[in-house]
Chain A
Amino acid sequence: MLSRVADNVYWLARYVERAENLARLVEVNASLMLDLPRELAPGWQSLITITGSQERFDELGKSTSERDIIRFLLAEPENQGSMVSALAQARELARTLREILPREVWEHLNGLALYVNERANDAVDKRTRHGFLRYVILATQSLTGMLEGIVSEGPALWFMALGRNIERADMTSRIVDVRALGMLPAQGSAMGPFATIQWMSVLRSLSGYQMYRIKTGQRVYPAGVVSYLLADTDFPRACVCCLRRAQEVLLRLPNSQSLVSRVQQLRDGIAATSFELLDGDAVHQYIDQLQLSLAAIHDDIRQTYFLAGLAAVHPGAGESQSQA
């Protein structure tokens, strides 16, 4: 497969996954706002930090009102990281991949991008927000299902799985981070009665409440949920599970040895961490480190397979290598 095409399918999957997780991110914060007493609620500004878009937000000179922040995260075409932008970019990439993607995939993605472009303002209004976010989550899930259901095994599918799992691991860690900020005043007694309920809604926004109960057999408590969402090997949105899946795909790709062991290192590191001992601040710092490691893995993928990485290397004199 051409490096450029691999690059495009990888990013296509990342953008779609990003759109889904932006929906989940807004949803988890919205429920946090409902769950916590006004004086303890963290507000919306933390989402700007957590999505790493503070600089762009300041450039655009938006107010920090709920409406402006949600519009910035979901509906702002001037924000490269917004849901609208993510889907627009996914759609542009899909246009270049029409000879590879089944027609249904293109049509579905096209429809979703158009829908979000027209309706993203529904997310600003509290009454219509939930319905809009649910729709986006469902539509992205069906796109992912479609890819699994009708695209043949091969580099195209593998690079999409790779992109999706890297993005998902990253976004899950960011969603945990939202709540970790909520954990900050945990030493104070005021949070006590609300600790459980807020972590239940984190699990719910990642569609993981039931899976958590089945797997752990435990009641919901902060460190238990953090540990589950970061270190579980089986829940598809848990970071380690995403890494495991990325690893499985990498094993099928050429020249992946060092990448596979790099991912293994990160997995081992997470597995060896005892989240019971960490407070909110420590979790936040831990997640920062985790995101850096994920970015390094992404960079490795880019260097190994994509155009930007290969451009610097010259082909061996006349040597032609086997191709996928």
Chain B
Amino acid sequence: MAIRWTDYPAAPHHDELIAPGGAPRHGAEAVARHLESLGISELTVRQKAAEAAVKAMGITFTVYHEEGGSIDRAWPLDIIPRVIEAAEWRRIDAGLRQRARALNLFIDDIYHAQRIVNDGVFPRQYLADSVNFRSQCVGINPPLGVWAHICGSDLVRGADGTMYVLEDNLRVPSGVSYMLENRQVIKRVFPELFEENTILPVDDYPSQLYDMLRAIAPPGIDKPEVVVLTPGIYNSAYFEHAYLAQQMGCELVEGRDLVVDKDDCVHMRTIDGWSRVHVIYRRIDDLFLDPEAFRPDSTLGVPGLLRAWRAGKVALANAPGAGVADDKLVYTFVPAMIRYYLGEEAILPNVPSYLCAEPDQLQFVLANLANLVVKPTNESGGYGMLMGPRSTEQEREEFALLVRANPRNYIAQPVLQLSTVPTLIDQQIEPRHVDLRPFILSGSEVQVTMGGLTRVAMRRGSLVVNSSQGGGSKDTWIVETSK
């Protein structure tokens, strides 16, 4: 069956590949032509080949079940790529670097003089109510003044074509391994396109990550030992932990492999005995990191780890306490932070947001629940939110009670009509909504991945892109055009 872009419903949403009327967007011409030349049946064959490759390469993610533990599932990948023109990407890249710099300055300020609070730019009350503020981190000076070394910011494009930042993940953001593996698979699927077009490579990330981690080692260490700390095999991102450790040539350790000695140094248990560790890329949440400092019932962490970090004997990425900026309420202040710390205007806008913590805005939100998305400020993975237009009267009433009981815990946003990308669904090409998660590394310099992980909601009309809730993924191409 032939593919005719003029029949493709590129409106009413903004489509990333096809403009209304059926013409390919700038940068996407080669892909659109190539897909046409292949036709649906060949495309289906290639989709099957990609799925077989994903299986054979063992690219999986873990889904929890309330009963019967967790299972490994093959990573869902749609072969039609999402294309971004390099010129636009450069602007996004600058916007993300600007954002990461401001966020790190904010965190460092919060744990020191709190100038931004004293100057009245960030309300003291919001800080007092923050569940991710860690008093244990006050006064600490992590190497290079960086707290959030790895940040995954979610970008969405609205109907008007504007790219917004939806949220910043500063705790233990995941997904970068899938970005790297997607590219490996898609290169095999469309070798012709990679030969004939300038699609910028993504493969540098593990080396950049490793260099950044080495750069934050305690001073005076010639060859720092860098390790990846995982909660273990049953964590949903275990695949990524093992993948990154392997790519960087580091040990993948669990909490029980590590011990903090009386001199505050961290050691791992090897067959030769004890071996000192200098940098830990930790993929365990703050509260489970150290039972001495946080949750005493945690068996995943390492007793004394925070003590070692405070003494400067080990570097932790991300630093404990960095999550204070991973809060949807703090998010609404990022443009103000950029102005305050950098004296610049934000290059990438936030999604307009209402703070339920502010009484007048709360009234507006409660009166307009049917038209808004209401989100808890401290949840991730798309849980615990209300999608106004899809909700029932009863759900809205129940949700209003939750919001009234704890307004600090909620923000609201207009429902964004996320942009779409053509996606292969049951031997047809249909538009499906996407977001984009680039990863920003902050060390001695700030670097952004080339593109990021594009997640796609596989059900028609759905805006839920999380893989735990049936979302898929796409390869993201930053394409250099001649013009």
* B273: chain A residues within 8 A (beta carbon): 254-255, 310, 315, 321
A323: chain B residues within 8 A (beta carbon): 270, 272, 275
Contact mask B238-265 → A, CB, 8 Å, 1/0? 0000110110000111101101011101
| B39 contacts chain A at the CB level, 8 A cutoff | no
Q: Quick check: B270 and A315 within 8 Å, CB to CB?
A: no
A-B pairs, top 3 by smallest CB distance, nearest first, are A320-B276, A315-B274, A99-B246
Docked pose: A4 CA to B275 CA in angstroms: 14
Chain B interface, DSSP helix/strand/loop, else mixed: mixed
28 CB-based A-B contacts, threshold 8 Å:
A2-B253, A3-B269, A3-B270, A4-B269, A6-B271, A95-B233, A96-B233, A103-B57, A253-B271, A307-B256, A307-B257, A310-B273, A314-B261, A315-B273, A315-B274, A316-B274, A317-B263, A318-B261, A318-B265, A320-B267, A320-B276, A321-B273, A321-B274, A321-B275, A322-B272, A323-B270, A323-B272, A324-B270
Closest to B253 in A: A2
Residue B146 is within 8 A (CB to CB) of chain A in the complex: no
User: For A324, what are the chain B residues with a Cβ–Cβ distance below 8 Å?
Assistant: 270-272
Which chain A residues numbered 247 to 274 have a C-beta less than 8 Å away from chain B? Answer: 253-255
Given known A-B contacts A3-B269, A98-B58, A319 and B274 have beta carbons under 8 A apart: yes
Question: In this assembly, does A72 line the interface, its C-beta being within 8 Å of a C-beta of chain B?
Answer: no
- Please determine whether A255 and B272 come into contact, CB atoms closer than 8 angstroms: yes
Could you say which residues of chain A place their CB within 8 Å of the CB of B262? Answer: 317
Residues of chain B from 89 to 109 with CB closer than 8 A to chain A in the complex: none
The verdict on A43 contacting chain B, using a C-beta distance below 8 Å, is no
In the complex with contacts A317-B261, A317-B262, A1-B233 CB distance below 8 A: no
Residue from the list B242, B251, B263, B272 in contact with A321, Cβ < 8 A = B272
Quick one: CB contact mask for B268-294 with A, threshold 8 Å, 1 for yes? 111111111000000000000000000
Asked if residues B267 and A3 are in contact (CB atoms below 8 Å), the reply is no
- At the interface, is chain A mostly helix, strand, loop or mixed? loop
Does B257 contact A315, Cβ atoms closer than 8 Å? no
Interface centre among B265, B273, B274, B275 (most CB of A within 10 A): B273
B36-70 toward A: CB 8 Å interface, digit per residue (1/0)?
Answer: 00000000000000000000011000000000000
The answer to whether A307 and B269 touch across the interface, beta carbons within 8 angstroms, is: yes
Count CB-based A-B contacts (< 8 Å).
Answer: 78
**Docked-complex contact A99 and B242, CB < 8 angstroms:** yes
Cα of A250 to Cα of B476 in the assembled complex, Å: 49
What residues of A have a CB within 8 angstroms of the CB of B251 in the complex? 2
Chain A contacts of B276 at CB under 8 A?
Answer: 320
Pick from A98, A315, A322 the residue with the most CB of B within 10 Å: A315
A42 CB within 8 Å of chain B? no
Q: Report B-chain residues with C-beta under 8 Å of the C-beta of A321.
A: 272-275
- Asked whether, in the complex, the Cβ of A254 is within 8 Å of the Cβ of B58, the reply is no
Using Cβ atoms and an 8 Å threshold, which residues of chain A touch B263?
A: 317-318
The contact size tier of chain B is 20 to 34
Most A CB within 10 A of own CB, among B251, B269, B275: B269
Identity of the chain B residue whose Cβ is nearest the Cβ of A310 in the assembled complex = B269
A residues lining the B interface (CB < 8 Å): 1-4, 6, 92, 95-96, 98-99, 103, 106, 155, 159, 253-255, 305, 307, 310-311, 314-324
B410-453 interface with A by 8 A CB criterion? none
Q: How far is the CB of B241 from chain A (nearest CB, A)?
A: 9
- Of chain B, the residue at the smallest CB distance from A99 is B246
Give the chain B neighbours of A3 by CB distance below 8 A. 257, 269-271
Assembled-state Cα–Cα distance A96/B269 (Å): 17
* Residues 215 to 244 of chain B near chain A (Cβ within 8 Å): 233, 242-243
CB distance from B249 to the nearest CB of A (A): 10
A106–B269 alpha-carbon span in the complex (Å): 25
Which of chain B's residues have a CB closer than 8 A to the CB of A4? 254, 256-257, 269
Task: Flag if B269 contacts A1 (CB, 8 Å).
Answer: no
Instruction: Give chain A nearest CB distance to B149 CB in angstroms.
Output: 22
Taking CB atoms, residues of chain B closer than 8 Å to A99 are: 242-243, 245-246, 252
A315 pairs with B272, CB closer than 8 A: no
Contact, CB under 8 Å: B275 / A305? no
CB contacts (< 8 Å) of A92 on chain B: these are 233
**In the complex, are the beta carbons of A2 and B274 less than 8 A apart?**
no
Taken together as a complex, chains A and B put the C-alpha atoms of A253 and B273 apart, in Å, by 12
CA distance A115 to B261 in the complex (A): 47
Q: Which residues of A contact B268 (CB under 8 A)?
A: 2
Chain B residues near A255: list those with CB within 8 A: 272-273
For A319, what are the chain B residues with a Cβ–Cβ distance below 8 Å?
274
Q: Complex Cα distance A99/B265, Å?
A: 27
A2 near B58: Cβ-Cβ < 8 Å: no
Chain B residues near A2 (CB, 8 Å)?
251, 253, 257, 268-271
Closest chain A residue to B243, Cβ basis: A99
Asked if A103 and B271 sit within 8 Å, CB to CB, the answer is no
Most buried by B among A2, A6, A98: A2
Q: CA separation between A104 and B13, bound complex, in Å?
A: 45
For the complex, what is the distance from the CA of A139 to the CA of B178, rounded to whole Å? 33
A303 to B475, CA, bound (A): 48
For the complex with contacts A2-B253, A3-B271, A324-B271, 17 further pairs of A-B residues with Cβ separation under 8 Å are: A1-B270, A2-B251, A3-B257, A99-B252, A155-B271, A253-B271, A314-B261, A315-B261, A316-B274, A317-B261, A317-B263, A318-B265, A320-B275, A321-B274, A321-B275, A323-B270, A324-B272
Q: How far is the CB of B281 from chain A (nearest CB, A)?
A: 14
Task: For the complex formed, measure the closest distance between the CB of B210 and the CB atoms of chain A, giving whole angstroms.
Answer: 15
Q: How far is the CB of B273 from chain A (nearest CB, A)?
A: 5
Q: Contacts A2-B253, A155-B271, A320-B267 known; A315 to B259 CB distance under 8 Å?
A: yes
Q: Are B58 and A103 in contact (CB under 8 A)?
A: yes
